[in-house]
Amino acid sequence: MNYLDNLNAQQYQAVTTVSGPILVLAGPGSGKTRVLTQRIAFLMKEKDIPAYAILAVTFTNKAAREMQDRIEDLLGESVQGSMWLGTFHAVCARILRRESALLPFNNNFVIMDADDQVTLIKRIIKELNLDEKMYRANSIHNQISNAKNNLQFPADVSRSNYREETLFRIYEKYQSSLEKSNAVDFDDLLLWTWKLLKDNPEVRERYARRFQHVLVDEFQDTNTVQYQLLKSLSSYHKNLFVVGDEDQSIYRWRGADYRNILLFEKDFPDHVKILLEQNYRSTQNVLNAARCVIDHNTNRTPKNLFSDRGAGDKILYYEAEDDRMEARYVVETIDRMTENGNAQGGDFAVLYRTNAQSRLLEDAFLYRGMPYRLVGAQRFYGRREVKDMIAYLRVAYNPLDEISLTRVINTPTRGIGDKSIQNLRLAALESDKPLGEVLLDLGRFGPESVFWPEMGRGALPLADFGANVLEWNTMAAANESITALLDKIILLTKYQQYLKADDDDEQDRWANVEELRKMAYEYEERGLAEFLQNLALVSDQDTITENNNAPTLMTLHAVKGLEFNRVFIIGMDDGLLPHNRSLDDPEEMAEERRLFYVGITRARNHVTLVRAEQRMAYGVPDITIPSRFLTYIPDALIMQGNAPSILPGKSTRSSRTSPSGSRWESTPSWANRALSQLGKQTTSRGSESAMPSQRVASCKFAAQDNVTHPLWGEGTILESRIEDGEEIVQVQFKTAGMKKLIVSLSKLQKTA
């Protein structure tokens, strides 16, 4: 394929308009990645722009990698190492390492992830003797993060009342703690880069001259500092090419502001604006449903997405009696579809609003013995044991990293309790030395150390641990292999025994440690520094592996940018989607709609919306209300009956059936239920009869019978027949249109 092939008129314009600011509003599935990659190839091949003069920013590492692959494919040459292509955070980390001479940390800084940040904030709240209930670490973390995203260092935040003053004190302490540990957090990567470019015109000039072209993916998800960075980095050549879709902005809570699109139009009045409206992914029905959802949002450029893929299937809606059945419905449907060869596992995505919803799905998949892959949730890097190991490596690399040191100083327990740590802190403070240095001194000199006497009972354990750290640090400094270092750490800390003694997940936990060791092995040549530096910037989305032919389970957030043949969106309940926390804020509600919109538009061919009438909430069953979003989708787009994939299988499958006597087997003929539930519509509540009927042998209704239904009102029977012992009728309702119903479940009454 060539770099100008397969482009429609708008795409072509986007690829070949070389200079000046360009705004591309790209609907879902409209080929924006194609535009970005082919544009880069075009710039290089046709306009002789060298790779090093191009900066391309993406939202995830995965997107960056994909883009790189496609560019290299087009060019037939590698751009690795020459072109700047990566996430905002990765690009900023790169700049900061190069320019560290101008910054309050050196170029081996470590990057703290969100967990580390919260832990640190908790510690600070304690140290400041603040009420932990009044000042919740998570909330403070958010506030600090917001401040940073809005270009505020501690000195810049408002301090007009006591609370703000307190926040300031925490923020200040937090920031100096990071500095002491030669660490930065996620937000710092952006903030410091922004400050660097602002305070040092010659540095800004250098980068701005270098980057003749700056390209940005997912522009709608940029926040203030990111937008300022983009302006700064493109300030010389002004060739800023941004691609985005305000309808897919789903990171508001993280400071992302789709209004940056409006800002862009204002800041660059001479920009070229291009709309990509042809969708190459979905069928028209999917697009229409999506549009019905997003049209409820205001303040947006209306887009008319169209597809030449035909109308396709309607949206399928299913209402399960509870969340367990909801999961089971999804799994059984997938099972049936894959079993009869209509689909394969990899065709499916199951999407949900909150990670907690994945659990029941996992249960159901496991129970059926079906494979699945889960994105996110308990992220690998978030696992306690993995974090422990990383912290150990960080301590080995830099014993002065106080944050990591305090994490592992007594994990596994080694007799260094709060009191000992306090003593250590005190000694550090008095001698004006970092914590790690005092510890190393104890390790090096033992009882001869000047600090020994003040350490009281903890002296020996501290000295022992100090000696360990010294040993690891020596290994790290001598550039010994990371795996050797890890092995030494595991040996000296008896970490495996520690996990064994712990609990029943020992197997899993140890497997995770081994997994980390494997990853470390791949960094054998690049070394510990690079390994540690890269760890923090890896995200859940990056762990999505290809070629694994199993259904994918993930949040609506995680699915952005992906596509699947068939998409389930579960938890279509008010309070889940839209989420409770969004109900009272119109902006938040708009974001929930976008989230739903993103979910729908992932589907190439088919969307199934699922909800549960009853759902466990903190262990208590709760009656739910159907999502208000369901009402956005007109009946004409929703499929009522006729779900061939979930028709009751006449033959019970011999393989992979549940063990008899199980709780599931005790529920009679679930599959029949699945079909019959299709007759029940959106607004029905738990009051409806849940039990399947006894088998019937004769029809209660006949064609031409006039009937009435509690929800759909009056209608006329078109057809009635018996299927699998259930009477199925087709009814033409006066206002609600044609529906297929299961008589035994549908509260259908004959009228005179």
Q: Which residues are catalytic?
A: 32-33, 217-218, 248, 602
E strands present in 332-425? 348-352, 373-374
Determine the Cα–Cα distance for residues 82 and 80; give it in Å rounded to an integer. Answer: 6
Determine the Cα–Cα distance for residues 387 and 408; give it in Å rounded to an integer. Answer: 9
Per-residue binder mask for DNA (CB under 7 A), 15-54, x = binder: ----------------------------------------
First CA to last CA distance, the chain: 68
Nearer to DNA, 354 or 479 (CB): 354
Cβ atoms 555, 352 nearer than 8 A: yes
Residue in 122, 159, 425, 700 binding DNA, rule: CB under 7 A: 122
Query: Closest approach of Cβ 594 to DNA, in Å?
Result: 11
Does the footprint of DNA cover residue 540 (CB under 7 A)? yes
Nearer to DNA, 459 or 476 (CB): 459
Cβ atoms 597, 559 nearer than 8 A: no
- Which residues are 573's β-sheet partners? 626
Given the rule CB under 7 A, which of 43-51, 211-219, 247-255, 633-641 is the region that contacts DNA? 247-255
Given the rule CB under 7 A, which of 19-27, 393-401, 565-573, 617-625 is the region that contacts DNA? 617-625
Q: Whats the size of the chain, residue-wise?
A: 752
Query: Closest approach of Cβ 564 to DNA, in Å?
Result: 17
Does the footprint of DNA cover residue 508 (CB under 7 A)? no
Does the footprint of DNA cover residue 1 (CB under 7 A)? no
Q: Which amino acid is at 525?
A: E
Query: Closest approach of Cβ 553 to DNA, in Å?
Result: 11
Does the footprint of DNA cover residue 229 (CB under 7 A)? no
Size of the site for DNA (CB under 7 A): 49
Does the footprint of DNA cover residue 359 (CB under 7 A)? yes
Instruction: Match 């010659």 to its residue by tokens.
Output: 202
Given the rule CB under 7 A, which of 563-571, 616-624, 676-684, 728-736 is the region that contacts DNA? 616-624
Cβ atoms 745, 729 nearer than 8 A: no
Determine the Cα–Cα distance for residues 79 and 435; give it in Å rounded to an integer. Answer: 43
Nearer to DNA, 336 or 414 (CB): 414
Residue in 558, 633, 707, 742 binding DNA, rule: CB under 7 A: 558
**Cα 305–Cα 310–Cα 314 angle in degrees, nearest 5:** 85
Determine the Cα–Cα distance for residues 327 and 14; give it in Å rounded to an integer. Answer: 43
Query: Closest approach of Cβ 24 to DNA, in Å?
Result: 21
Does the footprint of DNA cover residue 182 (CB under 7 A)? no
Q: Which amino acid is at 192?
A: W
Determine the Cα–Cα distance for residues 369 and 326; give it in Å rounded to an integer. Answer: 17
Give me 483's structure tokens. Answer: 């795996």
Does the footprint of DNA cover residue 254 (CB under 7 A)? yes
Query: Closest approach of Cβ 600 to DNA, in Å?
Result: 17
Mark residue 271 as left, alpha or beta (left: phi above 0; alpha: psi -120 to 50; beta: remaining).
beta
Does the footprint of DNA cover residue 133 (CB under 7 A)? yes
Q: Which amino acid is at 364?
A: A
Does the footprint of DNA cover residue 616 (CB under 7 A)? yes
Query: Closest approach of Cβ 249 to DNA, in Å?
Result: 11
Given the rule CB under 7 A, which of 132-140, 267-275, 471-479, 741-749 is the region that contacts DNA? 132-140
Nearer to DNA, 42 or 59 (CB): 59
Query: Closest approach of Cβ 403 to DNA, in Å?
Result: 16
Listing DSSP states for 537-576 in one string gives T--GGGG--SS--S-EEEETTTTTT--EEEEEE---BTBB
Nearer to DNA, 39 or 414 (CB): 414
Query: In the window 52-111, what residues touch DNA (CB under 7 A)?
Result: 59-61, 87-89
Does the footprint of DNA cover residue 380 (CB under 7 A)? no
For 258, what's the count of Cα atoms within 13 Å in the CB-facing half-sphere?
Answer: 20
Given the rule CB under 7 A, which of 324-332, 407-415, 424-432, 623-631 is the region that contacts DNA? 407-415
Nearer to DNA, 480 or 506 (CB): 506
Distance set, CA 496 to CA 385, 412, 470 (Å): 10, 10, 21
Residue in 46, 127, 132, 723 binding DNA, rule: CB under 7 A: 132
Residue in 103, 110, 113, 489 binding DNA, rule: CB under 7 A: 113
Determine the Cα–Cα distance for residues 75 and 77; give it in Å rounded to an integer. Answer: 5
Query: Closest approach of Cβ 501 to DNA, in Å?
Result: 8
Residue in 47, 209, 273, 419 binding DNA, rule: CB under 7 A: 419
Does the footprint of DNA cover residue 376 (CB under 7 A)? yes
**Cα 289–Cα 294–Cα 295 angle in degrees, nearest 5:** 95
Given the rule CB under 7 A, which of 283-291, 392-400, 470-478, 555-563 is the region that contacts DNA? 555-563
- The DSSP secondary-structure symbol of 679 reads T
Per-residue binder mask for DNA (CB under 7 A), 618-657, x = binder: xx--------------------------------------
161 Cβ partners below 8 Å, 6+ apart? none
Whether residue 412 is preceded by a cis peptide bond, meaning omega within 30 degrees of 0, is yes
Residue in 31, 436, 458, 571 binding DNA, rule: CB under 7 A: 458
- The DSSP secondary-structure symbol of 649 reads P
Instruction: Match 């309702």 to its residue by tokens.
Output: 733
Determine the Cα–Cα distance for residues 479 and 631; give it in Å rounded to an integer. Answer: 62
Residue in 426, 537, 562, 647 binding DNA, rule: CB under 7 A: 537
φ, ψ at 187 (rounded to 5°)? -70, -30
- The DSSP secondary-structure symbol of 340 reads T
**Residue 646 belongs to what H/E stretch?**
none
Does the footprint of DNA cover residue 143 (CB under 7 A)? no
Determine the Cα–Cα distance for residues 225 and 409; give it in Å rounded to an integer. Answer: 36
Nearer to DNA, 323 or 347 (CB): 323
Residue in 37, 220, 582, 608 binding DNA, rule: CB under 7 A: 582
Binding site for DNA (CB under 7 A): 59-61, 87-89, 113-114, 122, 132-133, 136, 138, 186, 250, 253-254, 353-356, 359, 376, 410, 413-421, 457-458, 537, 539-541, 555, 557-558, 579, 581-582, 616-619
